[in-house]
Amino acid sequence: MNEEKEPILRAENISITFGGLKALDRVSLEINPGEIMAIIGPNGAGKTTMLNIINGFYKPDEGRIIFEGKERPKKMKPNLIAAQGIARTFQNLALFTGMSTLGNIMVGRTMLMHSNIFSQALYWRFSQKEEIEHRAAVERIIDFLQIENIRRTPASMLPYGLRKRVELARALAAEPKLLLLDEPMAGMNLEEKEDIARFVLDANEELGYTIALIEHDMGVVMDICDRIVVLDFGEKIAEGTPDEIKADPKVIKAYLGTAGG
């Protein structure tokens, strides 16, 4: 449905090696504006590595990233990439445990806030106004994800499922052009999964976010995604709509060939 549009992000021939292990081997993929794209594959296939490259935490040995039509310089720092409009959540939770839920989400807005250190120290006019505006925006996200009652809870005291949700809130707070979710539903029970799936869909449909997510739960993936890319041992083995992927013999083989999935 988005065929005519230019992809928001294009990764071309990405390769990266870790001490002899080829974690990604000439993988190309595109993310189109407005879609929910899924990256799936068995454990260790290189999915997280791909996200790490997209948001600049790893630098690929080969290949290039084109974001919004512009090629990304080789050594661009992750925070600048975030500032371009790429936000993410982490597979192994990376909340700031010394802060409250609110604090965590406010950090997500750091690139949108501009008052300088002197104005912050005085907490006058601009700085105060900015703080209040952004607080209001964060409250809207808190409402959206229904985490009002844990606003002030220290992140270290949240249960696992809520931590994942706060991470999602933190990523949404950045109002990114591209949202990367690394296994947002891993380890959750059915009910929690449904909640998150609904939030992801709402974020996409109501708020218009472009989303790329990694998920092992095929049911969810087939339900909510527009397009799927399948990785196996660092290579892209298939790409297409959920129906195409379900029928792809290579995918079936990759999944049957491993215990997990």
Ligand X SMILES: Nc1ncnc2c1ncn2[C@@H]1O[C@H](COP(=O)(O)OP(=O)(O)OP(=O)(O)O)[C@@H](O)[C@H]1O
* By the rule CB under 6 A, 89 interacts with ligand X: no
* By the rule CB under 5 A, 119 interacts with Mg ion: no
Stretch that binds other proteins, among 64-72, 167-175, 212-220, 225-233 (CB under 8 A): 167-175
User: What is the rounded CA–CA span in Å between residue 23 and residue 235?
Assistant: 8
The first and second tokens of residue 39, run together, are 């990256």
* By the rule CB under 5 A, 89 interacts with Mg ion: no
CB under 8 A, 24+ apart: contacts of 44-50? 44/233, 45/231, 45/232, 45/233, 45/234, 46/231, 46/233, 46/234, 47/182, 47/214, 47/231, 48/91, 48/182, 48/214, 49/16, 49/23, 49/24, 50/11, 50/14, 50/24, 50/231
User: What is the rounded CA–CA span in Å between residue 46 and residue 40?
Assistant: 9
Least gap, CB of 187 to ligand X (angstroms): 12
Stretch that binds ligand X, among 38-46, 144-152, 161-169, 201-209 (CB under 6 A): 38-46
Least gap, CB of 257 to other proteins (angstroms): 25
Instruction: Annotate each residue in 13-32 with x if it binds other proteins (CB under 8 A) or - if it does not, as one string.
Output: --------------------
* By the rule CB under 8 A, 186 interacts with other proteins: no
Neighbours of 167 (CB within 10 A): 23
Length of the chain: 261
The size of the interface with other proteins (CB under 8 A), counted in residues, is 55
* By the rule CB under 6 A, 57 interacts with ligand X: no
* By the rule CB under 6 A, 104 interacts with ligand X: no
Contact pick of 66, 76, 107, 218 for other proteins (by CB under 8 A)? 107
Name the residues that contact Mg ion, by CB under 5 A: 48, 91
